[in-house]
């Protein structure tokens, strides 16, 4: 099983600590040690993108990042994006366009979209496909997901206009 | 649309979405009762081998490993899993006994304190094998001298049925011409992003097995109980578990039996979450794997007169329910076309591959692909435009209900109007101009067409068709409606959902039926012991059959409300009307009683209740599938499903001649599923099913080496379409209501997938034809296939 390590990191703005064997993935640490089950595991091989979280603001596949690699770093999971009473513009747009069905890939998809819009507030269609291209959705065929990202970009642009 | 509804057919308000976008879904992997142990699996490295010894001592010595279970030990105390054909010698068990019959088959289970340690332990279990000859090719397997997958059964052919309906001999004898295609639908599956998982917890003080599973399967609780040899009322399956995609395949009966057994043995909850490789090769979740030989007969004018379909399906090692997927297409065996004579010869064989299970459409999409390939071949042979040939042969709107030769009556449809809609949506002239421009630029381009049916309202009569000794005809759904003393409405259903937005569907339908705002209606999942009979969301059936149960429950509830209202208004029940929950005297509408007051009377005021009426406002209605209840005739004719949705696809494919890579440039669908309950949900189904069909057409295949080793064990080699591969899809909806459902609705859960493989293949073949290359009739069409076809044509030209 190997050595156990004390890990401290910032998750969704809060300092969190836990111990885990060195081989523990960040995804397993978030789910099993911290109880953040909004991060879902689809392939555990770094391909499907379901487990995407933000590590210091950049999207990573938490199934192939070790928990110890997140030591002293900042992690954002779906729980940190927005709760049911305070949806983020991306989450709101996903609801408005029905950009999901079973919900299993949705956490990773929302975070990938969030990372895109953080970096590129007005993404082209190609940029959207590029940002979401590593996140597999088996339910939707992506049509309503693309629409959600475009809609969220519009909302964010409107919010960014300074009020008189 | 003739009816107007208050809430039905309105977009938005999908109540599940808020939960999922915040990561608050509750999937089986999220459920870990205190004290849970975890399962790791030892799997067979051979496609066919005799197990000569299992040594678990090293695994048991590992810190954290609690137990190791072998197939022989499990078999002593359990019964084999259910077979739907009469094949008693074929024994399907969670862990292999004596022989393994495919690479990846489970041989032993290791139970440990964590999933990681269980996997470590599985690596330490030493199994001795004596390799046996394997058979991989279904046509070889069907031959008399083939190595046998189940020697006790005596043959690899599990079922062979020959059907002839209508004037098929005359059709072929008198045909002006026929077109024939041999098509290969290679092995693929739905491969949900969530693997299968199950938690089982045996309570020995109450004799109750609690099960939480990622399940979409009829009779799962019963089959668990039977295999575990415990009474059916000692298994409680919880349906308030979110299923992370299924599309038919989430039927982990062997997973359930294994964990249920281990939990009883160890006295603690036991959890099994497949990893991706186990899901792709050990779960028995593969889909249809078929070779078709189709011949279409027609007159000199291109009017279809007969069709012959020979199909052989490779079930993998354990047939289970999968051979029944050869029978469902009998209900739409002529597609949307008027064809008077049909010969259908279906053969199910076993090979040394992973077992097959129900996949989206239950065999219909492969058959649609074969029919459409034959129609395209006829268009080529006759030199007739593909759309024109389809229009010439469509069943016409005034002919419904229309009985096809195999006995099923299509309920309703307007195929010419839907194809017109697709053509208008695509702006076909512009699409053709774009195709020609692309061709002029040096790339290949082609337009694909498919027009096909989605049977909806699934029943299980195909069990009887493939196995006449099985006389099951009942396949119901139920709904409980309860109104509490405050007048709040709760709808209780007994199923789990895998993305179909059932909470939205149920609240919308209950709201519409009762005239109450759907946003105020709670939807709750009962478990298998407190719920109503249900067969789960298979066969595009929930809006139809559950819709019928909701109609029945609402009618009964409204009758009770009216009786209480009438009694308190001093009139007889036939003198009152019902309006959004209020009861009024028809001749004097100002005399009325409110919903809330009636609810209070029903719960608390016996002195104001009419005699003979039970207190409370609670009803349960269990509905049959519409149009079911009749066994198949000896010639196989039968009313299969009650409702037939229709879809027309037009797609433009562009091919790089250097690499053979296919890119889909434009995609259009017109779709008719009758009355739409929620347009956003239906569109999502159409888009998603189409994307799934694109995967089948171009990317997805479970491939095996000649000795039966799986070559596709991750998403790096089994390719699911990403946003890069799925173009924007434009969908136009048409509504031809079904006369047999509560509001005219039909099925939609398999939409898009029904026609996309045929349409995409047709587009590639149209592109190849323009270069003089022959059509490709095997899916998926890989770049190497396209490249080879082009290369062969070039070489031909050079000679």
| Token digits of residue B275 | 């990893």
| B177 within 8 A of B381, measured Cβ to Cβ | yes
**DSSP letters for B414-465:** -HHHHHHHHHHHHTHHHHHHHHHHHHHTTSEEEEEEEEEEEEES--SHHHHH
Count of domains for chain A:
2
Nearest CA to B695 out of B328, B194, B359, B435 is that of B359
Chain segment B241-285, per-residue pLDDT in tens: 999 999 999 999 999 999 999 999 999 999 999 999 999 999 999
Tell which of A80, A112, A135 closes a domain: A80
**Can you tell me whether residue B560 is helix, strand or coil?**
helix
pLDDT at A164 over 60: no
Residues of chain A found within 8 Å of residue B191, distances taken between Cβ atoms? 138
**What does the pLDDT look like over B678-690, one tens digit per residue?**
999 999 999 999 9
Domain presence at residue A17: yes
* Distance of alpha carbon B521 from alpha carbon B506, whole angstroms: 9
Is A56 domain-assigned? yes
User: Phi/psi of residue B68, each to 5°?
Assistant: -130, 135
Positions of E strands within B140-176: 157-166
The number of beta carbons lying within 10 Å of the beta carbon of residue B526 is 18
- Residue A1 confidence (pLDDT) above 70: no
Chain B residues in contact with A28 (beta carbon < 8 A): 116
Residue B713 to residue B386: CA distance in whole angstroms: 39
**In chain A, which residue's Cα lies nearest the Cα of B191?**
A138
In the three-class reduction of DSSP (H, G, I as helix; E, B as strand; rest coil), residue B392 is classed as helix
Query: Nearest residue on chain A to B685, judged by CA atoms?
Result: A140
Looking up tokens 């003089």 gives B772
- A164 inside domain: no
**Is A59 inside any structural domain?**
yes
Tokens of B736: 């031809």
Distance (Å, whole) CA B272 – CA B213: 10
CATH number at residue A32: 3.10.20.30
Report in angstroms the alpha-carbon separations of B92 from B45, B127, B219, B321, B704: 18, 20, 17, 12, 22
% helix, strand, coil for chain A, step of 5: 40, 20, 45
The three-class DSSP label of residue B326 is helix
**Please, which pLDDT band fits residue B669 given cuts at 50, 70 and 90?**
very high
CB burial readout B391-401, b (16+ within 10 A) else e: ebbbbeeeebe
Q: How many helices (H) and strands (E) does chain A have?
A: 6, 5
Q: Pick the last residue of a domain from A21, A53, A80.
A: A80
Is residue B702 a contact partner of residue B710, using CB atoms and an 8 Å limit?
yes
Q: Is residue A27 part of a domain?
A: yes
What percent of chain B is predicted at pLDDT more than 70?
Answer: 99
pLDDT at B132: 98
End-to-end CA distance of chain B: 60
Would an 8 Å CB–CB cutoff place B711 in contact with chain A? no
- Position B672 pLDDT exceeds 80: yes
Q: Are A17 and A67 within one domain?
A: yes
- A63 and A37 in a single domain? The answer is yes
Distances (CA, A) of B528 to B196, B210, B300, B500: 19, 10, 58, 20
Q: Name the pLDDT band for B798 (thresholds 50, 70, 90).
A: low
Question: In this structure, are A10 and A58 located in the same domain?
Answer: yes
Residues A93 and A132 in one domain: yes
Provide the ipTM: 0.97
Whether A76 and A109 map to the same domain: the answer is no
CA gap B744, B733 in Å, rounded: 14
Distance separating alpha carbons of residues B283 and B222, to the nearest angstrom: 20
Q: What chain B residue is nearest to A47 in terms of C-alpha separation?
A: B715
Residue A117 lies in a domain: yes
Q: State whether residue B574 sits within 8 Å of chain A by CB.
A: no
Which of A89, A136, A139 is best to mutate for the B interface (most B CBs within 10 A)? Answer: A139
Residues A59 and A40 both lie in one domain: yes
Domain shared by A143 and A112, yes or no: yes
Residues A35 and A72 grouped into a single domain? yes
Distance from CA of B296 to the nearest CA of A (A): 33
Nearest to B239 by CA among B457, B489, B536, B474: B536
* A chain contacts of residue B729, beta-carbon cutoff 8 Å: 141, 143
Q: Is residue A68 part of a domain?
A: yes
Model-level pTM greater than 0.90?
Answer: yes
By residue range, what is the domain housing residue A124? 89-159
Among residues B404, B439, B360, which one has the least CA distance to residue B657? B439
Same domain flag for A48 and A100 = no
For residues B615 and B601, what is the distance between their CA atoms, to the nearest angstrom?
Answer: 9
Pairwise CB contact (< 8 Å): A98 & B20: no
Radius of gyration of chain B (CA): 28
The CATH number of whichever domain residue A150 belongs to comes to: 1.10.150.120
Terminal C-alpha separation, chain A: 61
**Residue B610 in this model has a pLDDT that exceeds 80:** yes
- Residue B339, token pair as written in the block: 């064809």
Chain A residues touching residue B64 (CB < 8 angstroms): 1
| A6 SS3 class | strand
Per CB-CB distance under 8 Å, the chain A contacts of B500 are: 101
Mean pLDDT of A102-125: 98
For A130, nearest residue in chain B (alpha carbons):
B724
Tell me: do A8 and A72 sit in the same domain. yes
pLDDT tens, residue by residue, B732-765:
999 999 999 999 999 999 999 999 999 999 999 9
Report d(CA A106, CA A40) in Å as an integer.
Answer: 9
Cα–Cα distance between B254 and B283 in angstroms, integer? 8
A13-42 per-position pLDDT tens digit: 999 999 999 999 999 999 999 999 999 999
Across the interface, which of B27, B691, B714 has its CB nearest the CB of A141?
B691
Contact B18 A84 (CB under 8 A): yes
Task: Decide which of A47, A63, A80 is a domain's last residue.
Answer: A80
Kindly identify which residue of chain B lies nearest to residue A31, measuring between CA atoms: B30
Give the neighbor-by-neighbor strand order of the sheet with B177-185. Answer: B157-166, B341-349, B304-314, B290-298, B177-185, B778-779
**3-state SS assignment for residue B735:** coil
Whether cis (ω within 30° of 0) applies to the bond prior to B401 is yes
Whole-number pLDDT of residue B469: 92
Residues 2-41 of B with CB under 8 A from A: 12, 14, 16-25, 27, 29-30
| d(C-alpha B281, C-alpha B709), whole Å | 10
A68 and A17, same structural domain? yes
- How many other CB atoms sit within 10 Å of the CB of residue B182? 14
B556-578 tens-digit pLDDT: 999 999 999 999 999 999 999 99
Cα nearest neighbour of A35 on chain B: B30
Closest CA to B337 of B424, B428, B459, B419: B419
Q: What per-residue confidence (pLDDT) applies to B793?
A: 84
Cα–Cα distance measured from residue B694 to residue B771, given in angstroms and rounded to the nearest whole number? 23
- Report yes or no: B140 at the A interface, CB cutoff 8 Å: no
Compute CA distances A103 → A78, A111, B51, B280, B725, whole Å: 12, 13, 41, 21, 21
**DSSP string for residues in B76-103:** HHSPPPP-SSS-TT----SS--SEE-ST
Distance from CA of A80 to the nearest CA of B (A): 9
pLDDT of residue B1: 44
Residue B2 binned pLDDT confidence (cut-offs 50, 70, 90): very low
On chain A, the residues whose CB falls within 8 A of the CB of B14 are 95, 98
A59 and A97 share one domain: no
Quote the minimal CA–CA distance from B508 to chain A in Å: 16
How far is A162 from chain B, CA to nearest CA, in Å? 28
Q: Which chain A residues are Cβ-neighbours of B247 within 8 angstroms?
A: 138
The verdict on a CB contact (< 8 Å) between A136 and B715 is: yes
User: Would you say A42 and A57 are in contact if contact means Cβ atoms under 8 Å apart?
Assistant: no
A98 closest CB neighbour out of B14, B192, B724:
B14
Return the closest-CA partner of residue B234 out of B245, B217, B222.
Answer: B222
């Amino acid at each position: 099983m190997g050595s156990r390590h004390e890990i401290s990191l910032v998750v969704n703005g809060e300092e969190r600590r836990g111990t885990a064997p060195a081989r523990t993935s960040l995804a397993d640490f978030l789910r099993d040690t911290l109880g953040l089950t909004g991060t879902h595991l689809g392939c555990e091989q770094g391909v499907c993108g379901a487990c995407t979280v933000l590590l210091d603001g950049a999207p990573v596949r938490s199934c192939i990042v070790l928990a110890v690699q997140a030591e002293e770093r900042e992690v954002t999971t779906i729980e940190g994006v927005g709760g049911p009473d305070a949806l983020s513009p991306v989450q709101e747009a996903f609801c408005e366009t029905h950009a999901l069905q079973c919900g299993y890939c949705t956490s990773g998809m929302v975070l990938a979209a969030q990372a895109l819009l953080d970096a590129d507030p007005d993404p082209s269609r190609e940029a959207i496909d590029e940002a979401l291209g590593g996140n597999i959705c088996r339910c939707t065929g992506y049509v309503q997901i693309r629409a959600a990202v475009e809609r969220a970009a519009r909302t964010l642009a409107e919010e960014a206009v300074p009020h008189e | 649309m003739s009816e107007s509804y208050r809430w039905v057919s309105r977009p938005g308000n999908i109540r599940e979405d808020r939960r999922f976008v915040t990561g608050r879904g509750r999937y089986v992997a999220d459920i870990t009762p205190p004290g849970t142990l975890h399962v790791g699996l030892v799997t067979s490295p051979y496609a066919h081998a005799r197990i000569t010894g299992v040594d678990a001592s090293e695994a048991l010595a590992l810190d954290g490993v609690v137990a190791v279970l072998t197939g022989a030990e499990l078999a002593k105390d359990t019964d084999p899993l259910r077979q739907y054909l009469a094949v008693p010698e074929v024994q399907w068990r969670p862990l292999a006994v004596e022989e393994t019959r495919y690479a990846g088959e489970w041989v032993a289970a290791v139970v440990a304190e964590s999933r990681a340690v269980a996997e470590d332990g599985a690596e330490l279990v030493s199994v001795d094998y004596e390799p046996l000859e394997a058979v991989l090719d279904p046509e070889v397997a069907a031959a008399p001298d083939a190595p046998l997958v189940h020697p006790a059964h005596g043959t690899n052919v599990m079922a062979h049925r020959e059907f002839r309906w209508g004037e098929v001999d005359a059709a072929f004898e008198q045909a002006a011409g026929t077109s024939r295609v041999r098509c290969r639908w290679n092995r693929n599956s739905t491969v949900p992003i969530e693997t299968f998982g199950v938690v089982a917890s045996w309570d020995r003080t109450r004799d109750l097995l609690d099960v939480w599973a990622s399940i979409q399967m009829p009779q799962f609780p019963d089959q668990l109980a039977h295999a575990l040899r415990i009474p059916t009322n000692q298994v409680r399956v919880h349906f308030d578990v979110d299923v992370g995609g299924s599309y038919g395949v989430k039927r982990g009966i062997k997973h359930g039996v294994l964990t249920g057994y281990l939990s009883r043995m160890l006295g603690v909850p036991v959890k099994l979450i497949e990893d991706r490789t186990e899901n792709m090769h050990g779960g028995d979740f593969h889909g249809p794997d078929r070779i078709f030989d189709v011949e279409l007969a027609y007159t000199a004018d291109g009017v279809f007169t007969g069709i012959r379909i020979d199909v052989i399906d490779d079930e993998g090692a354990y047939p289970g329910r999968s051979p029944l997927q050869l029978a469902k297409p009998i209900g739409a065996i002529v597609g949307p076309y008027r064809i008077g004579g049909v010969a259908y010869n279906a053969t199910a064989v076993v090979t040394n591959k992973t077992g097959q299970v129900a996949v989206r459409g239950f065999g219909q999409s492969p058959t649609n692909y074969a029919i459409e390939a034959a129609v395209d071949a006829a268009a080529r042979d006759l030199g007739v435009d593909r759309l024109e040939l389809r229009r010439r042969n469509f069943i016409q709107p005034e002919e419904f209900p229309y009985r096809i030769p195999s006995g099923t009556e299509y309920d309703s449809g307007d195929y010419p109007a839907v194809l017109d809609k697709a053509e208008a949506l695509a702006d076909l002239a512009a699409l053709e101009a774009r195709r020609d421009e692309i061709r002029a630029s040096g790339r290949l381009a082609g337009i694909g067409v498919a027009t096909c049916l989605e049977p909806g309202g699934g029943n299980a009569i195909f069990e009887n068709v493939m196995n006449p000794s099985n006389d099951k005809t009942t396949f119901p759904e139920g709904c409980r409606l309860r109104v509490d003393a405050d007048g709040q409405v709760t709808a209780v259903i007994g199923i789990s959902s895998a993305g179909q937005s059932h909470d939205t569907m149920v609240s919308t339908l209950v709201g519409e039926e009762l005239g109450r705002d759907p946003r105020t209606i709670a939807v709750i999942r009962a478990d298998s012991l407190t719920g109503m009979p249900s067969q789960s969301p298979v066969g595009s059936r929930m809006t139809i059959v559950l819709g019928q149960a909701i109609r029945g429950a609402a009618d009964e509830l409204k009758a009770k409300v009216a009786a209480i209202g009438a009694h308190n208004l001093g009139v007889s029940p036939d003198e009152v009307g019902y309006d959004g929950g209020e009861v009024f005297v028809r001749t004097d509408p100002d005399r009325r009683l409110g919903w809330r007051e009636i609810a209070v009377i029903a719960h608390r005021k016996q002195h104001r209740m009419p005699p003979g009426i039970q207190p409370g406002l609670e009803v349960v209605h269990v509905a049959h599938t519409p149009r079911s209840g009749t066994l198949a005739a000896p010639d196989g004719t039968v009313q299969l499903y009650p409702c037939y949705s229709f879809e027309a696809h037009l797609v433009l494919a562009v091919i790089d001649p250097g690499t053979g890579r296919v890119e889909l440039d434009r995609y259009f669908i017109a779709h008719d599923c009758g009355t739409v309950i929620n347009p956003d949900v239906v569109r999502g189904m159409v888009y998603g099913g189409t994307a799934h069909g694109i995967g089948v057409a171009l990317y997805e295949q479970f491939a095996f080496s000649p000795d039966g080793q799986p070559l596709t064990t991750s998403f790096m080699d089994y390719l699911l379409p990403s946003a890069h591969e799925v173009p924007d899809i434009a969908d136009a909806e048409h509504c031809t209501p079904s006369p047999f459902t509560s509001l005219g609705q039909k099925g939609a859960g398999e939409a898009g997938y029904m026609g996309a493989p045929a349409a995409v293949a047709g587009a590639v073949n149209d592109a190849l034809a323009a270069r003089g290359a022959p059509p490709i009739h095997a899916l998926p069409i890989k770049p190497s296939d396209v490249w080879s076809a082009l290369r062969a044509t070039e070489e031909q030209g050079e000679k």
